[in-house]
Structure formats: structure tokens, C-alpha cells
Structure 1
Amino acid sequence: MTTRQLTGLILGPSLFSLIYFFQGMTGLDDAPRAVLAVTAWVATWWITEAMPIPATSLMPIFLLPLTGGAQEETATMAYADPIVFMYMGGFTIALAIEKWNLHKRIAMSIIAMVGSDSSRIILGVLLATALLSMWISNAATALMMLPIALALITNVKEKNYLDEESLRKFAKGLLLTVAYAASIGGLATLIGSVPNAVFAGVASQILGETVTFTDWIIFGLPLTIILLVVLYFYMTKVQFKITQKASISDDFAKNQLKELGPMSFEEKAVLTIFTFTGLMWISSGFLPENLRLSDTTISIIGATSMFLLPAKQEKGGLMQWDDMKRLPWGLLLLFGGGLSLAAAFEESDLTSWFGELLGALEVLPFLLILIALAAAVLFMTEIMSNTAVSNMLIPISIGLALGIGVDPYAIMAVVALTSSCAFMLPISTPPNAAVFSSDYITIDDMVKAGFWMNIVSIFVIVLFVYFWQPLVLSF
């Protein structure tokens, strides 16, 4: 075990014991004190990875009932929350897209359409990455786009389209664009980023409110567009500005599409199901109440259709059950663990305690509170999993909102959005780690580029939530 894991292994149960057995530390009644103690233990092991994160996520199932923090039904039912199944359906559709190479065709088609100089190549990759990341996890998107970006760089290098200095800037800008666009694109939809789904799950568990796919896309898509515009101009006009003009990608993208050949039956079928599912997610909120399908129902219809429609290139459907081995089951357990703790917060009334504790912040201007919260969450996410951060802080943020008397959605949204926007370190997000694995990016490059993206993101997100959230996503 690493020092970090060993420290966490000891610290987790130690914090639990201090909180649970010494009532005077918190002054809480038995049930809320038990929930707080269990949360401290689980969160510590999530952060330090003392045990595999999915395994740690199962601990609330036995710790909450044993300590009296929550009923067994409360602890276990959260693992079957509709949000968990919505994500399962989305992951299944994403696996089908990847299996039949539809993601590569989409990316190359966008690059071929956008243009041929270095800035336009970066724009094409940015758009392709962000579009895929709206529907596929940011980690999977980055891993899908990384080979395409590296192939583009190799193509430019071999044909001497750019001089050495320009090539260096192009490579760094292109790869960091993949990483950052994968994170930003996920902000637009409920299934695009884990913290978004945690937001919806906690809103349901604690506040009893349903945040639909339509609600979130109306809220999150404009922010995604703003941050993508900022990212493009920052990468091409500021951080990695290339003065040399060269036409470099027309042939590359067209050749890649030629290698893929005409769209196969399977690609067309997957695209049809994917498009239908997306349209249903977006439009269901506008249908009459008696005709509406929930986002989870739509997601599972799309996923099961992949198994039902037959493939021509292999026996059986577009998806086989063996393909589901690649589904991130551990992430679904992590969702369940976070939602289980959130349900226990509500059942034990621990949220109110946090509200009273944080009520002293009421004297500060609301905008200043949002900025401080955004900065704290974002820089926490630089060294911690955004899923762990959102699972820990979104339930607590409801207490903060109650304490200062503001809309809980505002505080929750700041936590959810900023926890997806850590750009400085390779360990911050899977997309950062993916592009750092190439030989073109150094830690210095990522810190320098990411620091200013972090700062810009904090202010853009805070202002966006402050002005836009009350109009479209009020509690």
C-alpha cells in the first residue's frame, strides 16, 4: 500500500470512532451523529483509495443500519435509484457507439467540415470531443479522441506542414484541448458528467424534486458553449498561438473517412437509436403529463434496443451481453454509495445541522460565498475524484443553502459544475491523465495552461449560476 492509502486506512475508522463515540464533539443526536461518522469514514477511504472505490461505496449498506444512522431499506434502495439506471442505459449506448466505430466517424466528419489550418483543426477536435462528451463519459471520450489527435500530430510532423516551434505549440494545444473539451462537454447533459447526475440524485433524495434531462440541458448547455468559446480562443490565440499558416488536415480527415468506408448497417442502426434516445430525452419534458416518459425509462429503452436490433456482421444483436463486461459497474456502485449517504442525511435530519453550522456565512455577500465555494471545490478536485467531491459536498451544500437562506440549487450547481472543471494536474481528471500519457505534454505545460482555465472557469461558472440558474432551474 502507498503511504496515502495506509494513512487513509487508519484515518477513516479513527474519524468514525471520534465522531460516533464522543457525542460532545458534535452535540448531535444518535442517528445524525451516526450518519456523520459513516460519511467521514467512507469519504476518507474514497479520497485516499485505501480500498478500491467501488468496494468502499458498498460500506453504507451495512454501516448505516448497524450504527442506527438509517434503516436498511433507506441505505440499500439508493443503489437502485432511477439516476443509477439512467446512467447504466447511457453507458450501454456509449459502448455500442464505440464498438461500431461511430465515434470516429463523427469526429472525422466534424474535422473534415471545419477546415484545414491549425486553428481550425483544434476547433474541429474541440467540437468533436465536446459533442461526444455530452453523451459519453469524459474518460471514455478522451481515450477515444486521443488516438485521433496523435494521428493528426504525426501527420503534420511527417509532412513538415509546420516548423518545429509551431508544431510543438500545435501538439500541446491540440492535446490539452482534447482533455479540457472532454470535461467541459460533459457539463451540458445529466449523463455527461458524474456530478451532474449526483446533483439530480441528491435533489430527488433530499429535496424531493425531479431534475429532468430537459431541465439540465437548458441550464447546462449555454455554460458549455461559453466555456468552449473561451477554451478555443485561449488555446489558439493566447496560450499556444501559432503564427505560421499551413493547410494540414483536409487529406487526413478525408483519408480516415475513406478508410472507414461507407456507413455500415450497424453504424446506421446505432446512430438511429442514439438519435432517437437523445431526442426523447430533450423533448419529453415538453410533452403532456400523460404522455411523458422518465429520463430513466428512455435511457433503458435505448439500451435494450441495442440488444434487440440484429447485427449483420456478427450473430445476435448490435450489443452482446459479453460487451457489458466493459460497462463501468464500479461507477454505478459509487453513485449508489453517494446517494445512500444522501438519503441518510435526509432521514436523520443531518442536513439541518449543517444548515445551522454554516448559518454564520449569511453575513457575507452571496456572490462572494459562491466564488469562495467554487474556488475551494475546484482546487479540491485537482487532487481528488470529482465524483468523491460531489458525493461529499452536494448534500452538505443543501445545509449551507438552508443556513444562509438561499435557493439550494444555486449552491448545489456551483459544486457540481466546478468539480468537473479541474484542468491543472494529470491526476485531476481522467482526460488530463490520458493526454499526459503522450510524450508531448509536460506537467509544467498542464499547470500553466490549466491554472488560467481554472481561474476563468470559477468566475464564468459563478456568474452563470448567479444570473442564469434562477431563470431556468429554480427550486
Structure 2
Amino acid sequence: MTEETQDKPTYPTRAIVGIILGPLLFLLAYFLIPSSQLEHAPRFVLAITLLIATFWVTEAIPMAATSLIPLIFIPLVGAADIDTVAASYSSPTIFMYGGGFVIAIALQKWNLHRRIALNIIDLIGTQSQRIVLGIIISTSLLSLFVSNAATALMMLPVALALISEVKEKEILTGKSMTHFSKSILLAVAYAATIGGLATLVAAVPNAAFAEIARRELDRTVAFYEWLLFAGPIALTILVFLYFYLTKMKFKVDAGNQDQTIDFIKEDKKKLGKMSRDEISVAIIFGITVFLWVFKSLVFPENIAANMHDGAISVFGAVALFFIPSTKRGERILEWRDLKELPWSVLILFGGGLALAASFGQSGLNTWIGETLQLLELFTPFIIILLLVVIVLAITEILSNTAVANLVLPLSVGLGIAVGMDPLLLMAAAALSAGSCYMLPVATPPNTAVFSAGVLDISDMAKAGVWLNIFSVIVITLAVYFWMPIVFGL
């Protein structure tokens, strides 16, 4: 046992606060709300939600362990039946997300992600602004299908090597070098987050949106449908990010930028030609993405309707276990490779869906809807704007998964209360929960790039606040004007 482990307390102060505060909020909510206002089942679900939310926020126990609490207590008191709660942990959307994780593991195992990134940067150019653009494009493309955390960890070594190369060759110096270093790291963090907004498989809030819509509203949201809606949102924010980093916040003088950056070409040479294993992964990856996007165009309607995106994702993952690799006696993926699979994220996701299902079955959504009827005084546009601002602000300090798990079920009741299609408010909440840029703790990509020691908190906060403001505007306008067109609402 290391000295660091010995000194680390079993329960940090934050966790102790959660262990005390969570049960206290549970008791207050359950016993102070009169039964004439809220019956036993919805009152218990509300109380247990407050306890779980407190545990999530304070990490009183691991977040995945907290996410199993609904499975224990909600059926026990009859607030929802065990079949409904347990089914949430194995929903089709969880399989879609899990399959995406497995494919991402294959991309990393055979280094295909690095080849993609280096080729994009080499294609776009090696001047400082073009390097930043290359980082934004390659990071955002990867994050369409890989979690933002994994994408940031893949791209961070590339970004740091670029910074080192520019510094060693004195291509940039002084303030310009500082600006380049900060802009390229922020590009990794922000592009990893923004790219994930565009697909259902890259961000938990998006996947939660699709699953809750399926369960609570009987509305299937297809992969291509969300991509058509959220893709332009992500692209718009990425364009703003590029111009903000390179033209406004971190402008770089031309300097000696006629010098070439050998790092890219040298690393491409080291990678050599695409191996048979990389080609195999690329083919499976390509087939999976193709089916996600174009299944309704390729297959008859009756077949496409039964071909859930989760099944397609699992198909891609399972196929990788069949294909032999160039390593003797091995395949592209072996079961031991799945030790990298973030099972905790899948359980966390399941816990959120379990709460959402309990909201509906217990009748809590109806009570929330009645309580929120005062919002009818506002116009739909203002309601969407307020929701986006509130959720985005909360997400800066809390886990976006936890926020999405709590807010998405509430959005259903809110939509019913104010006479709006709940899908609009759920989409606004999901996109806002996935957009957090100001603090190192806001997202794993922010934490990853901050750990490099180049950025100050003020750098991230000042850049992030403008990105937040722009995101509020774009998300609100897109949900109000563009989403009804795409989804036919």
C-alpha cells in the first residue's frame, strides 16, 4: 500500500456531507409533503430521487453504485414494479452505447484513431491556425462515435507533441507560443464535447433522450434523425470555436510559420501503411455507421423499423470478435480487451432510465406537470431559453450524465404542463447537459487538457463563458425553429 493510499480518507468531507444530506432530504420530502398533495408512490419516487441526486453530486459512494439504488427500493415499496425498473438497466439504448464503446476500444487498440487524426492535420496544413483547425476537425469527427472522454485522451498526446515541436524549432515564441499552446489544448477539450452533441452514441444525455422518448412518449428517435437535427448545431458551434480561438482569444503572429512541422509526417511514417487489422476495424466501423445513418433507405420499411440502432451497434461490436488479426492465435478483439469498457457509465445510464420510468409509472410526471402550469404564462420560446440556461449552468458543476438523468424526466412533465411537445424540451435539456466548457471539472475532456499544466482556470473560464453564451443562442434557436421541421412536430 502506497503512502498516498494510506493518507487518503475512506470518506472525504464531500462524501460525508452527501451521506448525511441525502437521507435527510429523503425524509423531508417524504414526510413534509402531505399525502393529500402527493400520494405515496410518486412521493417516494421524488424523495428517493433527491437522495440519489445528492449522492451523485457529492459522490458519497461511487456513482454507479448509487445508480443501483432504484432497483432496490422503488419496487420494494410498490412505487413501480421490478420488471419496469430492472428493464431500464438493459434498454436497447444502453446496448447501442455499449456497442459504440466496444468499437471505440478496437479503434484505440489498433491505433486507427491516431492515423485518422494525423492524416487530417497533414491534409489541412501545419501553420498554427490550420493546426488548430485540423485538431478541431479530427477531434470532433472522432467524438461523433467515441465518448468525449476517450476522444480527448486519444488526441491529447497529439496536441502535446505538436506544442513541443513548435516550441523546440522556435516556429513560434513568446506570447504567440503561449497563445498557440492554449488554443490547441482548448480545441481538443471543446471539440471533443461539441462533436458528441451530433450523435446518439457519443454522449449519454443524447442516448438518454432517445430512450426516455421511446418509453415515455412512444417516439422512436433514429440515429439519422438526431444527426440531421443536431449535426448543424454542432457544426455551427465548431465554426464559432475556430474563429474565437484563432481570431479573437488567442491570436498568433505569423512568425516563422513557413517552417514545416516534421512531427506529423514523421509519425505518419512510423505508423506505416494501414495494417490488415486497421483495415478490418475501419470496414466494420464504416458498415456500422452506414447502417445507423442509411438503414431506412437501404432496407424495406418493415425490416428497418425492427432494426434498432442498439442492435446495429452490437452487430458491429460482435463482428470484431470474429475477424482474425495478424497476431498469431488472436482476433481483432479478445474478451480481455473489454476490461477497458466503462461498465460504470452503462450502470449510471441505467439508473437514470430507472428513475425516468418510475417517474412515469408512479404518476410523478403528472404532479410535476400540474405544479409547473404557471409556466404557461411564458411563450414557448422563453420556456426553451430558460430551460437551456438553467441546465447548462447546472452542468458546469455537476456530471452531465447525472443532470440529464434528473432533468429529462422532468422535461416530460413540463412539456405536458405548458402544452408543448415534450420532445422539444427534452432535446433542449439533452443538448444543454452536453454543453459545458467553463471549468476543469465540468467534463472529462476539460479535466484531461487541464492536467497538461499549460492552461489556467481563468483561460478555460473566459473562453468557456463565450462558448456557453453562443451555445445557449444556437440550441434555443435550433430547438424552436429547426427541430419541428426535422421531427415533423
TM-score range, shorter chain: over 0.9
Q: Which residue of 1 aligns with 2:381?
A: 367
Greater shift, 263-272 or 206-215, is seen at 206-215
Q: Trace 1:63-82 onto structure 2 (pairs within 5 A).
A: 63-82=73-92
Q: Trace 1:46-195 onto structure 2 (pairs within 5 A).
A: 46-195=56-205
SS of the residue corresponding to residue 308 of structure 1 reads coil
Q: Alpha-carbon deviation of 1:442?
A: 0.6
2:391/2:403 contact within 8 Å kept: yes
Q: Alpha-carbon deviation of 1:61?
A: 0.4
Look up the equivalent residue of 1:278 and give its one-letter code: V
1:308 and 2:333 equivalent?
A: no
Q: State the distance in 1 between where 2:33 and 2:154 align.
A: 51
Q: State the distance in 1 between where 2:111 and 2:36 align.
A: 54
Aligned length: 475
Greater shift, 216-225 or 123-132, is seen at 216-225
Q: Which residue of 1 aligns with 2:360?
A: 346
- CA deviations 1:190-237 (Å, max 9, x no partner) are 011110001011111211211111111111111111111010001100
SS of the residue corresponding to residue 263 of structure 1 reads coil
2:454 equivalent among 423, 436, 440: 440
1:156/1:248 contact within 8 Å kept: no
Q: State the distance in 2 between where 1:25 and 1:224 align.
A: 45
Q: Which residue of 1 aligns with 2:279?
A: 268
Q: State the distance in 2 between where 1:366 and 1:270 align.
A: 45
Q: Alpha-carbon deviation of 1:392?
A: 0.2
Q: Please, which runs of 5 or more residues in structure 1 have no aligned partner? A: none
Greater shift, 241-250 or 113-122, is seen at 241-250
SS of the residue corresponding to residue 454 of structure 2 reads coil
- Distance of aligned partners of 1:7 and 1:164 in 2 relative to their CA distance in 1, 3 Å threshold: same
Q: Please, which runs of 5 or more residues in structure 2 have no aligned partner? A: 1-10
2:55 equivalent among 25, 28, 45: 45
2:152/2:445 contact within 8 Å kept: yes
1:58/1:333 contact within 8 Å kept: yes
TM-score by structure 2 length? 0.95
Q: Trace 1:283-432 onto structure 2 (pairs within 5 A).
A: 283-286=294-297, 287-292=299-304, 293-432=307-446
Q: State the distance in 1 between where 2:96 and 2:296 align.
A: 16
- CA deviations 1:388-422 (Å, max 9, x no partner) are 00000000011111111111111111110011111
Look up the equivalent residue of 2:438 and give its one-letter code: M
TM-score by structure 1 length? 0.98
Q: Alpha-carbon deviation of 1:250?
A: 4.8
1:205/1:339 contact within 8 Å kept: no
1:180/1:423 contact within 8 Å kept: yes
Q: State the distance in 2 between where 1:460 and 1:289 align.
A: 34
1:121/1:249 contact within 8 Å kept: no
Q: Which residue of 2 aligns with 1:15?
A: 25
1:112/1:250 contact within 8 Å kept: no
Greater shift, 294-303 or 307-316, is seen at 307-316
Q: Alpha-carbon deviation of 1:285?
A: 2.8
Q: Which residue of 2 aligns with 1:214?
A: 224
1:280 and 2:291 equivalent?
A: yes
Look up the equivalent residue of 1:212 and give its one-letter code: A
Q: Alpha-carbon deviation of 1:23?
A: 4.1
Q: State the distance in 2 between where 1:218 and 1:435 align.
A: 30
Q: Alpha-carbon deviation of 1:474?
A: 4.4
Greater shift, 109-118 or 251-260, is seen at 251-260
Q: State the distance in 1 between where 2:372 and 2:57 align.
A: 23
Look up the equivalent residue of 2:76 and give its one-letter code: L
- What CA RMSD, in Å, does the superposition of the two structures yield over aligned residues? 1.3
Q: State the distance in 1 between where 2:50 and 2:36 align.
A: 13
- CA deviations 1:347-390 (Å, max 9, x no partner) are 11211111111110111122222222111111111110000000
- Distance of aligned partners of 1:448 and 1:248 in 2 relative to their CA distance in 1, 3 Å threshold: farther
State, as a whole percentage, how many aligned pairs show the same letter: 49
Q: State the distance in 1 between where 2:121 and 2:471 align.
A: 26
2:92/2:308 contact within 8 Å kept: no
Q: Which residue of 2 aligns with 1:224?
A: 234
SS of the residue corresponding to residue 34 of structure 2 reads helix
Q: State the distance in 1 between where 2:476 and 2:224 align.
A: 22
Look up the equivalent residue of 1:242 and give its one-letter code: V
SS of the residue corresponding to residue 320 of structure 2 reads helix
1:26/1:33 contact within 8 Å kept: no
Look up the equivalent residue of 2:445 and give its one-letter code: P
Q: Which residue of 2 aligns with 1:458?
A: 472
Q: Alpha-carbon deviation of 1:38?
A: 1.5
Q: State the distance in 2 between where 1:67 and 1:16 align.
A: 14
Q: Alpha-carbon deviation of 1:241?
A: 1.0
- Distance of aligned partners of 1:314 and 1:458 in 2 relative to their CA distance in 1, 3 Å threshold: farther
- Distance of aligned partners of 1:156 and 1:147 in 2 relative to their CA distance in 1, 3 Å threshold: same
- Distance of aligned partners of 1:255 and 1:371 in 2 relative to their CA distance in 1, 3 Å threshold: same
Q: State the distance in 2 between where 1:196 and 1:264 align.
A: 34
Q: State the distance in 2 between where 1:160 and 1:364 align.
A: 57
Q: State the distance in 2 between where 1:19 and 1:397 align.
A: 20
